[in-house]
Amino acid sequence: MSLAIDLATIWAFIIAFAVFVYVVMDGFDLGLGILFPLFPAKADRDVIINSVEPVWDGNETWLVLGGGGMMAAFPLAFSVLLPALYAPMIAMLIALVFRGVAFEFRSRAQGERNPWDLAFTGGSWLAALAQGIALGAILQGVQVEGRRYAGGWWDWLTPFSILTGVSLMIGYALLGATWLVMKTEGSLRDRAYRLSWLLLIAMLGAIVAVSIATPFLHVQYTQRWFAWPNIILTAPVPVAVAAVTALLLRALANKYDYQPFFLSLALFALSYAGLGISMYPFIVPQSITIWQAAAPENSQMFLLVGVSVLIPLILSYSAWAYWVFRGKVRPESGYH
Amino acid sequence: MFEGWDAVTLARAQFAFTMSFHIVFPAFSIGLASYLAVLEARWLLTGREVFLNLFNYWVKIFAVAFGMGVVSGIVMVYQFGTNWSAFADKTGSVIGPLMGYEVLSAFFLEAGFLGVMLFGLKRVGPRLHFLATLMVAIGTLISAFWILSSNSWMQTPAGYAVNADGQFVPADWFKVIFNPSFPYRLVHMVLAAYLTTALVVGAVGAFHLLRAPHQAGARVMFSMAMWMATLVAPIQILAGDQHGLNTLEHQPVKIMGMEGHYQSHPDGAPLILFGLPDQQEGKVKYALEIPKMGSLILKHSPDAPMPGLDTVPRENWPPVPITFWSFRIMVGMGFLMFGLGLFGLWCRWRGKLFESRLLHVFAVLMGPAGFIAVLAGWITTETGRQPFTVYGLLRTADSASPLAAPAVGSSLLAFVVVYFVVYAAGLTYLLRLMAQPPLAGEAGPPREVPTRTAGVTPLIEGATQ
C-alpha cells in the first residue's frame, strides 16, 4: 500500500482524528450512561453526572466536526453513507437528544423517580449501539450505483453489525468505568474497579471476535492484514494490544487512579488503527476511495487552513476546561 | 405505513418540523448569551449585586435552552446526509466548508467555555469567568455568521462553478461567503435574536413587577429590556425593509409570493394588506389593497411597473398562500414590538415605567412575539425559495435522498413524538424557572458549588438547593 501524502489523505486523517476524539471523549460520557443502572443511588448518580457535566457538550461537538467535515471534504461519501445508515443514524440522533437534555433536565425534575435518569440511560445505550452498528455496516460495505446509495433501508442489519454494536457498548462502558475510577472515591470507586475488570475481559473478547470476523467480510481485508509484506506493518498491532492489556491488568491490580483510563484509551486507539488499516484508502469500503470522494482541492484547502489554526486552539482551551474541573468529584459537594 | 406517500414531501415536512423546533433556541441563546455578558460586565464594573443575581438567574435558563439548541442542531447537520443526500453531494464542496468553519470557530468555542461559564465562577474567579461568558457570547455570533452565510448562499448563490459530476464547486470563496443576500440576512437575524431575547426578558420582568412592583431585579431587567425594544425595533424595521429590497433585486419571484402579486402591474402595483391567495386560480381573493402602495414601498415610485407570477412558469411558483401569510405575521409582530418600545419610552419619560400595569400586561403578552416573528420570517424566506434548494439552480425534488417513503415517514414520526415529549418538558422547566422571581443572593446552576469566601451565605445556599 502506498502512502502518498496528498490533500485527500490529509483530510482522511483529519476526519479520522475527529471521529476518534469523538469516540473516546463522548465514549466515556456514553459509558457512564450505559453503567447508570448499576448505580441506582441518587447520591452516586449525582457524582457520576457531575464528573462530566462541564465537558460533555465539548465532547459531543467532535461528532459535528466529523459529520460536517466529511460533508465538506468528502461530500460523495457523506451522501452515500448516511442514507445507507439511515435507521442507525436516526436512532443515534434521537438517542443523543434524550441523553443531552437529560443532563439539564434531571436536576429540574421533581418527584421520587426521575424520568430523565431513564432517558440518560436509554439514550446512552441506544446511541452507543447505533454507532457500533454503523461502524459494522460501513466495514461490511454498502451498495453503490453511480453517485448514490442503491440498497434498501435495512441492509445495515447483519450479525456482524450487531456484533460491532455490542462491542462498542462494551468498549464505552470500559471507558466509563475507568473514568469513574479516576474521578471518584470510596465505594463508588471500588465498584468501578470491579466493573473495569469484567469490562476489560469482555472488551478483549469483543476485539478478538471482531478481528476474526472482519477478514471474512472481504478478501481484501485478509490480504491487507496477512499478505507479505503488509504483515510487517500489521503484526505490531495485535502485539501492542497484548502489551497494553498487560499494563492495564497491572494498573487495575495495583488500583492506580489514572492509568486504567488512559490505558483503555490506548486500547481504543489500537483498535481504531486496526480499523484504519482495514479500510484505507476506501472511505466507503470496496466502492469509493478517498480520492474519488474528495471535494475539489479549493474546498479542502480552504477548510484545511481553518483546521490547522483552530484545532490546536480548540485542544488548548478544551484542555483548560478539563484542568479547571480536575480532581476527584465528591458526593453532595459537586466540584469543590 | 406511509406507502403511497411522496418521500420528498415527507423529507420536507421533516426538515420544516425539526428546523422550526431548532431555530427558536439559537434565536434565544444568541441574544441571551450577549445579555449575560452585559450583566456580568456591569456587575464587574459597578460591583452591584443585583447584576450578579440577574446573571445567576438567567444563566440557569440559558443552560436549559442552550442544551436543547445543541441536541436539535446535531440533528440538522446529519439531516443533510440522511434525507438530502443528493443536495449534500452537489453542494457539499461549497457549503460544507462554511459549516466546517462554524463548527471549528463557533461550536467548539461555545462548548469549550460553557462548562466554566455555568459551573466555574468559584473555581476560576470573576475575570476568567467573564472571559468564558464573553467567549460563549462571541461563539453564538460567529455561529450565526457562518450558518447564515451558507443559508444565504442557497438563496443567492455566487462565486461557484459547476463541475462534470454536476457538483457546485467554489470558484471564489469571498463571493461565496459574502454572497448578495448575506449581509442583509445576518443583520436582520441577529437583530431578531436580540429582540426575541429582550421580549422574553421584558415579559419575565413585567410578570414579576405585576406581582411585586418593588423587586430590584425585576426592575433592572425590565428597564434593560424596554431600552432594547425602544432602540432595536425601529432599526429592525429599517433592516427588514432593506432586506426586502435586496430580495426584490435577487429573488424577485419570492417577493411576488410574499406580496401575493399573481398578476403583473405595468403602471404601479397595489399593496395587498389582506386576502386569500388561491394558488389554483392564480389570484388573491377578497383582497384588501392600497393602490400603488406596493410599488411605492418596493420601488420608491408609485407608478413603477411590477411583474407578477404570470411572467413565471407555474412549476417555478413558490407556495404563495404560505409566504403571503407568514410574511404578514412577521411584519405584524414587528410593528407590535415597535409599539411596545414606544409605549415603554413614553412611560419611562412620564416616570411610570415600573408602575404602568397596562405596559406590564402588554409586555407579558409580547413575551413570545419574537419567537413567532422569527418562525414566520424563516418560513417566508425558506418557503419563498421553493421549489428550489439552491435558488434557480437545484430543484428540491432533485435534492432528496434515494429513500422510499416508509423510511422517511417513520423517522418523521419518531422525531414528532420525541420532540413533543422533550420540548414539552423543556418548556415546562423553562417557564417554571421564569415563574420564580430573581432573588437577592440568587444561586447559579444547581450543581455550582458556592464557597464561603464568595459572599454567598450558607442560608441561601440551603434554601435554593
This model of the complex carries an ipTM of: 0.87
Instruction: Establish, for the pair of chains A and B, how many residue pairs have beta carbons separated by less than 8 Å.
Output: 245
Q: Give the closest of B93, B104, B414 to A94, CB-based.
A: B414
Nearest alpha-carbon partner for A269 in A20, A10, A61:
A20
Q: Is residue B288 part of a domain?
A: no
Q: Is residue B67 part of a domain?
A: yes
The answer to which of A283-287, B220-224, B338-342 has the lowest mean pLDDT is A283-287
3-class DSSP string for chain A:
CCCCCCHHHHHHHHHHHHHHHHHHHHHHHHHHHHHHHHCCCHHHHHHHHHHHCCCHHHHHHHHHHHHHHHHHHCHHHHHHHHHHCHHHHHHHHHHHHHHHHHHHHCCCCCCCCCHHHHHHHHHHHHHHHHHHHHHHHHHHCCCEECCEECCCCCCCCCHHHHHHHHHHHHHHHHHHHHHHHHHCCHHHHHHHHHHHHHHHHHHHHHHHHHHHHHHHHCHHHHHHHHCCCHHHHHCHHHHHHHHHHHHHHHHHHCCCCCHHHHHHHHHHHHHHHHHHHHHCCEEECCCEEHHHHCCCHHHHHHHHHHHHHHHHHHHHHHHHHHHHCCCCCECCCECC
Q: Which of residues 165-224 of A touch B (CB under 8 A)?
A: none
Q: With b meaning 16 or more CB within 10 Å and e meaning fewer, what string describes B84-106?
A: bbbbbbbbbbbbbbbbbbbbbbb
The pLDDT value given to residue A171:
95
**How many structural domains does chain B have?**
1
User: How many angstroms separate the CA atoms of A296 and A125, rounded?
Assistant: 38
pLDDT tens column, A305-322: 999 999 999 999 888 888
> What angle (nearest 5°) sits at the alpha carbon of residue B38, between those of residues B34 and B39?
115
pLDDT tens column, A88-97: 999 999 999 9
Interface contact B113-A61, CB threshold 8 A: no
A10 touches chain B (CB under 8 A): no
Q: Is residue B305 part of a domain?
A: no
Give the three cell numbers for residue B88.
449534500
Q: Which residues of chain B make contact with A82, given a CB cutoff of 8 A?
A: 78, 81-82, 85, 88, 401
Sign of CA dihedral A127, A133, A135, A138: negative
The 3-state DSSP class for residue B281 equals coil
Which of A21, A97, A305 is the best substitution to test chain B (most B C-beta atoms within 10 A)? A97
Q: Cβ(B445)–Cβ(B118) under 8 Å? A: yes
Q: Which is more confident, B225 or A329?
A: B225
Q: From B429, which residue of chain A is nearest by alpha-carbon distance?
A: A108
The answer to which of A227-236, B191-200, B366-375 has the lowest mean pLDDT is A227-236
Sign of CA dihedral B243, B248, B252, B257: positive
Q: Is residue B39 part of a domain?
A: yes
> Is pLDDT above 70 for B446?
no
Secondary structure (DSSP) of B83-126:
T-HHHHHHHHHHHHHHHHHHIIIIIHHHHHHHHHHHH-HHHHHH
Q: Give the closest of B74, B91, B116 to A96, CB-based.
A: B74
- Please give the mean pLDDT across all residues of chain A: 88
pLDDT tens column, B230-287: 999 999 999 998 999 899 899 999 999 998 889 888 888 888 888 888 888 888 888 8
Which of B3, B62, B107, B174 is the best substitution to test chain A (most A C-beta atoms within 10 A)? B107
Q: Kindly list the structural domains of chain A, giving each domain's residue range(s) and its CATH number in brackets, ordered by start.
A: 9-324 (1.20.1630)
Q: Is residue B262 part of a domain?
A: no
Interface contact A108-B432, CB threshold 8 A: yes
The pLDDT value given to residue A5:
65
Interface contact B88-A79, CB threshold 8 A: yes
The pLDDT value given to residue B360:
94
> Is pLDDT above 80 for A2?
no
pLDDT tens column, B62-94: 999 998 988 888 898 889 989 999 999 999 999
The secondary structure element, H or E, covering residue B246 is helix B216-250
> Is pLDDT above 60 for A333?
no
Interface contact B96-A68, CB threshold 8 A: yes
Q: DSSP E strands: which ranges in B136-278?
A: 160-162, 168-170, 271-278
Q: Which residues of chain A make contact with B445, given a CB cutoff of 8 A?
A: 107
- Please state at what angle helix B216-250 crosses helix B252-259, rounded to 10 degrees: 120
Q: Which residues of chain A make contact with B401, given a CB cutoff of 8 A?
A: 79, 82-83, 86, 149
Interface contact B77-A149, CB threshold 8 A: no
Please report which confidence band the pLDDT of residue A112 belongs to, taking 50, 70 and 90 as the band edges.
low
The pLDDT value given to residue B434:
92
The pLDDT value given to residue B461:
34
User: How many angstroms separate the CA atoms of A51 and A209, rounded?
Assistant: 32
The pLDDT value given to residue A235:
85
The region, left, alpha or beta by phi > 0 then psi within -120 to 50, assigned to residue B354 is alpha
The pLDDT value given to residue B460:
34
Q: Is residue B237 part of a domain?
A: yes
pLDDT tens column, A133-146: 999 999 988 888 88
The pLDDT value given to residue B414:
92
Mean pLDDT, rounded, for A9-32: 92
The pLDDT value given to residue B447:
54
A151 touches chain B (CB under 8 A): no
Interface contact B81-A60, CB threshold 8 A: no
Q: Is residue B264 part of a domain?
A: no
Mean pLDDT, rounded, for A220-239: 84
Domain range for B370: 7-251+321-464
The pLDDT value given to residue B451:
30
A87 touches chain B (CB under 8 A): yes
Give the three cell numbers for residue B423.
420540548
Please report which confidence band the pLDDT of residue B464 belongs to, taking 50, 70 and 90 as the band edges.
very low
User: How many angstroms separate the CA atoms of A105 and A227, rounded?
Assistant: 53
The pLDDT value given to residue B77:
86
Q: Which residues of chain A make contact with B160, given a CB cutoff of 8 A?
A: none
Please report which confidence band the pLDDT of residue A41 belongs to, taking 50, 70 and 90 as the band edges.
confident
Q: With b meaning 16 or more CB within 10 Å and e meaning fewer, what string describes B364-401?
A: bebbebbbbbbbbbbbbbbbbbbebbbbeebbbeebbb
Q: Is residue B265 part of a domain?
A: no
From the CB of residue B220, how many other CB atoms can be counted at a distance below 10 Å?
A: 19
Nearest-neighbour CA in chain B from A168: distance (Å):
21
The 3-state DSSP class for residue B390 equals strand
The pLDDT value given to residue A37:
93
Output the CA–CA distances (angstroms, integers) from residue A268 to A57, A244, A263, B384, in the order listed. Answer: 21, 10, 9, 48
Mean pLDDT, rounded, for A277-293: 87
Mean pLDDT, rounded, for B358-378: 95
Structure letter (DSSP) for residue B258: H
pLDDT tens column, B106-143: 999 998 899 889 888 888 889 999 999 999 999 999 99
The pLDDT value given to residue B115:
87
Q: With b meaning 16 or more CB within 10 Å and e meaning fewer, what string describes B143-157?
A: bbbbbbbbbbbbbbb
Nearest-neighbour CA in chain A from B83: distance (Å):
7
Q: Cβ(B295)–Cβ(B302) under 8 Å? A: yes
Q: Give the closest of B72, B96, B173 to A71, CB-based.
A: B96
pLDDT tens column, B390-443: 998 999 989 988 888 888 999 999 999 999 999 999 999 999 999 988 888 787
User: What pTM, to 2 d.p., does this model score?
Assistant: 0.89
Interface contact A335-B99, CB threshold 8 A: no
Mean pLDDT, rounded, for B333-349: 95
| List of residues 6+ apart from A288 with CB closer than 8 A | A76, A77, A80, A144, A282
Nearest-neighbour CA in chain B from A208: distance (Å):
32
Q: Give the closest of B74, B115, B165 to A64, CB-based.
A: B74
From the CB of residue B285, how many other CB atoms can be counted at a distance below 10 Å?
A: 9
The pLDDT value given to residue B459:
35
pLDDT tens column, B162-215: 998 889 999 999 999 999 999 999 999 999 999 999 999 999 999 999 998 888
The answer to which of A111-115, B135-139, B307-311 has the lowest mean pLDDT is A111-115
The pLDDT value given to residue B158:
94
